[in-house]
Amino acid sequence: MATKLYVGGIPYNTQEDSLKEYFSQAGNVVSAVIIMDKMSGRSKGFGFVEMETKEEADKAIEMFNDKEFEGRKLTVNVARPMEPRPARSGYGSGNGNGYGGGREY
| Span 19-48, pLDDT tens digits | 999 999 999 999 999 999 999 999 999 999
Structural domain count of the chain: 1
Q: What CATH number does the domain containing 48 carry? A: 3.30.70.330
Q: How confident is the model at residue 89 (pLDDT cuts 50, 70, 90)?
A: low
Residues 53 and 47: their CA atoms lie apart, in Å, by 18
Average pLDDT of the residues of the chain? 88
What pLDDT score does 81 carry?
Answer: 81
Residue at 103 is within a domain = no
Residue at 64 is within a domain = yes
Residue at 23 is within a domain = yes
Residue at 102 is within a domain = no
Beta bridge partners of 94: 100
What domain range is 38 assigned to? 3-78
Residue at 89 is within a domain = no
What pLDDT score does 105 carry?
Answer: 42
Report the alpha-carbon angle 79-48-5, nearest 5: 40
**Single-letter amino acid, residue 93:** S
What pLDDT score does 103 carry?
Answer: 47
**Single-letter amino acid, residue 77:** N
pLDDT over threshold 90, residue 85: no
**Percentage of the chain lying above the pLDDT 90 cut:** 73
